[in-house]
Structure 1
Amino acid sequence: MSTLSLAESEATLLTLRAVRRGVRRRQLLLLVGLGALVVALFLARALLGDYRVSFVDGIRMISGTTIPGASFIFMESTLPRACMSVLAGAAFASAGAAFQSMLRNPLASPDVLGINLGASAAAVFAVVLLGWTGMPVALVAFAGAVAVAATIHGFAGRGGAATGRMILVGVGLAAVLSSVVHWVLLRADIYRAQDALVWLTGSLGSVSWSEIVRLGVVVAIGLPLLTLVTRQLGVLGLGDDLAAGLGVRAHRLRILITGLVVLLTASATAVCGPIAFVGFLSGPIARRLAGGRTSVPAAALVGAAMVLAADYVSAYADPNTAYPVGVVTGLAGAPVLVWLLVAGRRTIQEKA
């Protein structure tokens, strides 16, 4: 009898190992596929604009060769926008996926809970009423996002109901901050208000290499850390008390994840504004592609691909007008959201 039990245990262990290998293989294939998609969209955005540039000429210009007519367009317009699309999309998407996983709610992205709006309200106030530009605006935006996140955690408190209170407080703060942004715009002159509205929609039209470097450093630090700490989120689904018994301090983990989310979202928002739907949709899309598992790297790649494609469409869909990238993501995001809701409902009905 004991021999039979031992054989059954070994068979179960082998089955679990096989399942884990299958999951890891699927995740690796998913990341490779999404990475190839991002590379293809990056090359299309950088090389296939109003002025077509070959891949070889692009490498030559990056290495320092000047090609009359092409170098300025490539080095000062299309290539910076492609780089910023990848960085901003990855920042918004990874932050959204982590926050949704932490709060166990697909609606709980930073843009819905007011963190993006906190950065936006502070930045618009500094730009419109104080006339600031550059690094001071980025610092103010970061301070605004930190203030919102601290308020959410302060009112949420501890315990099992903390996640629900965080969502309620975040939605309330988002409504208040939206009113603050409108009040600031009403007090601005027409030209500054127009610039602020373009920025609030989400725009990559005036990015610089210094901003790309700053955001690149933030993403290079924040994305791996966020990927690492979100691996412990599955334990929180068991409840705060049981998580503490397993060595995971729920309150500290939520603060750490929120801090990384603020770092990523505020840094990206300060550069290109709150690009609509990227943080909200990238997590659910990546989760469906990953078979229901939360994957921050997959969400980051989905967000990068989304912003790259939207920026290309916004720049060249209308030959007479270039739209802010947030207009395209907003228009495309609504049907995708409806599709996710319908697909999720069908999945629930099939399981029932």
Structure 2
Amino acid sequence: MKNESIEFIMTGRRQRHRRWILVTSSLAVLSFILCCAMLLLGNTIYPVMDVIRALSGEQIQGASFAVNTIRLPRMLAGLFAGFAFGIAGNTFQTMLRNPLANPNVIGITTGSSAAAVFCIVILHTSGAIVSIASVIAGLATVVLIYILSRGNSFSIGRLILIGIGIQAMLGALISYLLLVGAEQDLPAAFRWLSGSLNGSEMHELPPLMLSVFICTPIVIMLGKHLSILELGEQSATSLGVNTNKTRIMLIVSSVCMISLATATTGPIAFVSFLSGPIAKRLVGVGFSNVIPAGLVGVNLVLAADLIGQFAFVARYPVGIITGIIGAPYLIFLLIRMNRRGEL
């Protein structure tokens, strides 16, 4: 009887592992297809061999400039920003055990946005300064929300409500900065605030790419602890998890990624909000969905950008398309949580 129970458990685990591999592989293949589409499609559709030759450094009239200067930076920005948004959103939602507790809703992204807009319209700077300011502002927003939400005891519901309030205040600050900013800086600020891959340049990408390469392994290594944190503070502590240290490492890693992603592409709406739940639904329980959430983020950003470029008469920034997709889900989630008495 005991052997049968163990075999039953192991069979279930193997099935869940196969499902994880299948889903993750499928998401990776879809990401690769979308990356190829980003390089091939545009005002001119170049043959596959011309794109490969252009990427290898061969000079091909028209194709070399379009692929290397416009399409490749745009694709890489969407790839790394989507991955960063997906992982960071999933980390916050899992760690705080609430689908609303993602960087978009609780104001972290807005904090980074406010710093970036200040740099663009007031200081007239870009590049590294915007990235550094975004990371500092994102971390400062996290610290402020955490301090204000502590009270006599830590409450996730209080943290979310305070985060929403902070988001509203920072949104008002962004509106003020746009009102007092120089007129020539406003188009760039508005385009950036909508969440866009337009105008992405290779020299802007290294900070974001470096943060993803450094912070992703940290989140993966803490993936087991992240799953335990989902059980609650007392359960995690009783299982030997240093909850404070784990949270700090996860928060710093996630905020660095999402702040630099925001500085690079602007606050692409709802990607961090949608990636975790979609990945969890696809992967199921039993294995970490950190990597699947990142890949879902990549697919959302790249697919939304292609839709915004080619599905309509006018071209729309990627953030508008993801906003159209994400807003109904947010309303649905709020209605469901209200019916369950979770709000």
Q: TM-score, normalised on structure 1?
A: 0.89
Measured in 2, the distance between the counterparts of 1:152 and 1:228 equals 26
Residues 1:262 and 2:255 aligned together: yes
Residues 1:208 and 2:198 aligned together: no
**Deviation readout 1:21-51 (Å, 9 max, x if unpaired):** 1111100000011111111111111112221
Residues 1:312 and 2:309 aligned together: no
Q: 1:239 to 1:315 in 2, by over 3 A?
A: closer
The AA in structure 1 aligned to 2:220 is T
Per the alignment, residue 77 of structure 1 pairs with 70
Moved more, 89-98 or 292-301: 292-301
The AA in structure 2 aligned to 1:164 is G
Per the alignment, residue 3 of structure 1 pairs with none
2:11 to 18, 26, 29: 18
**Do the aligned partners of 2:84 and 2:261 also contact (CA within 8 Å) in 1?**
yes
SS of residue in 2 equivalent to 1:303: helix
Moved more, 91-100 or 46-55: 46-55
**Count of residues paired in the alignment:** 337
Is there any run of 5+ residues in structure 1 with no aligned partner, and where?
A: 1-7
Residues 1:297 and 2:271 aligned together: no
Residues 1:170 and 2:163 aligned together: yes
**Do the aligned partners of 2:96 and 2:230 also contact (CA within 8 Å) in 1?**
no
Moved more, 126-135 or 30-39: 126-135
**Do the aligned partners of 1:97 and 1:283 also contact (CA within 8 Å) in 2?**
yes
Measured in 2, the distance between the counterparts of 1:164 and 1:253 equals 20
Percent sequence identity over aligned pairs:
39
**Do the aligned partners of 1:158 and 1:251 also contact (CA within 8 Å) in 2?**
no
**Do the aligned partners of 2:112 and 2:133 also contact (CA within 8 Å) in 1?**
yes
CA RMSD of aligned residues (A): 2.1
**Do the aligned partners of 1:84 and 1:207 also contact (CA within 8 Å) in 2?**
yes
**1:170 CA displacement:** 1.4
Moved more, 141-150 or 293-302: 293-302
**1:195 CA displacement:** 1.8
Measured in 1, the distance between the counterparts of 2:283 and 2:309 equals 31
Please say which structure displays the higher CA radius of gyration.
1
The AA in structure 1 aligned to 2:99 is P
Q: 1:168 to 1:69 in 2, by over 3 A?
A: same
Q: 1:339 to 1:58 in 2, by over 3 A?
A: farther
The AA in structure 1 aligned to 2:297 is G
The AA in structure 1 aligned to 2:40 is L
Per the alignment, residue 58 of structure 1 pairs with 51
2:110 to 110, 117, 129: 117
SS of residue in 2 equivalent to 1:313: helix
The AA in structure 1 aligned to 2:316 is Y
Measured in 2, the distance between the counterparts of 1:153 and 1:250 equals 15
Q: TM-score, normalised on structure 2?
A: 0.92
Per the alignment, residue 244 of structure 2 pairs with 251
Measured in 2, the distance between the counterparts of 1:237 and 1:96 equals 14
**1:240 CA displacement:** 2.1
**Do the aligned partners of 2:79 and 2:298 also contact (CA within 8 Å) in 1?**
yes
The AA in structure 1 aligned to 2:301 is V
**1:341 CA displacement:** 7.5
The AA in structure 1 aligned to 2:290 is V
The AA in structure 2 aligned to 1:312 is L
**Do the aligned partners of 1:230 and 1:257 also contact (CA within 8 Å) in 2?**
no
Per the alignment, residue 28 of structure 1 pairs with 21
Residues 1:140 and 2:142 aligned together: no
**1:255 CA displacement:** 1.5
Per the alignment, residue 4 of structure 1 pairs with none
**Do the aligned partners of 2:23 and 2:282 also contact (CA within 8 Å) in 1?**
yes
The AA in structure 1 aligned to 2:263 is A
Q: 1:55 to 1:341 in 2, by over 3 A?
A: farther
Q: 1:160 to 1:237 in 2, by over 3 A?
A: farther
Residues 1:100 and 2:93 aligned together: yes
SS of residue in 1 equivalent to 2:110: helix
Measured in 1, the distance between the counterparts of 2:222 and 2:231 equals 17
**Do the aligned partners of 2:70 and 2:201 also contact (CA within 8 Å) in 1?**
no
Measured in 1, the distance between the counterparts of 2:28 and 2:153 equals 37
1:334 to 324, 327, 330: 327
**Deviation readout 1:243-298 (Å, 9 max, x if unpaired):** 22321122222221111111110010111110001111111111111125661111
Is there any run of 5+ residues in structure 2 with no aligned partner, and where?
A: none
Measured in 2, the distance between the counterparts of 1:228 and 1:170 equals 27
**Deviation readout 1:140-195 (Å, 9 max, x if unpaired):** 11111010011122234499744333223212211111111111111123332222
Moved more, 36-45 or 230-239: 230-239
